[in-house]
Copies of this chain bind each other. A is one copy, B any other.
């Protein structure tokens, strides 16, 4: 049971996009440079975010990614669901319907498996907490520790990887 690293990458990239503060699309190459990630693979990880409506993509030269909405309107749950899919981590295979229970009438299985129900309830707490946390609030936490971050990001890109200037 492990959450894909794509979740971490995606969340970081959303914050980075906001810190960069540009209105034009940012290419995968520039984003990847900001975290030292392999560009092609980062691109692959960001595509689900586009499908989920968290980012918008622009193809072609001068193309790239933009935040589709404010960080206020993106939760950690949104990011997780986009990358990992909507399915729950615990999936009940209904093994209770075999062996001992095989001969019971179908009505015996109307009620959900008690183990499944308990696991789902716990997982729901997790998702609730994720849904309550916006990327904006996470960004605020980061800036409380390091208020210079936005400036640092913009300066670094201006020096190391400036956008193509006309």
Q: Identify the A interface with B (CB < 8 A).
A: 1-5, 7-9, 11-12, 15-16, 33-37, 76, 84, 87, 89-93, 95-96, 98-102, 104, 108, 111, 113-119, 121-123, 125-126, 128-130, 133, 137-139, 141-142, 145-146, 152-153, 156-157
Contacts and interface: CB of A to CB of B under 8 A. Distances in A.
A128 to B, nearest CB: 7
Q: How many copies does the complex hold?
A: 2
Nearest to A36: B98
Contact of A104 (B108, B118, B139, B152): B152
A92 to B, nearest CB: 6
A100 B152 contact: yes
Contact of A138 (B11, B118, B153): B118
A89 B89 contact: yes
25 contacts: A1-B2, A1-B3, A2-B87, A7-B90, A7-B119, A8-B92, A9-B95, A12-B95, A12-B115, A33-B99, A35-B96, A35-B100, A36-B102, A89-B89, A99-B156, A100-B152, A100-B153, A101-B152, A104-B152, A113-B142, A114-B138, A119-B130, A122-B133, A125-B129, A126-B129
Contacts of A102: 36
B3 A89 contact: yes
Given A95-B9, A138-B115, A84 B36 contact: no
Given A2-B91, A89-B2, A102-B36, A141 B114 contact: yes
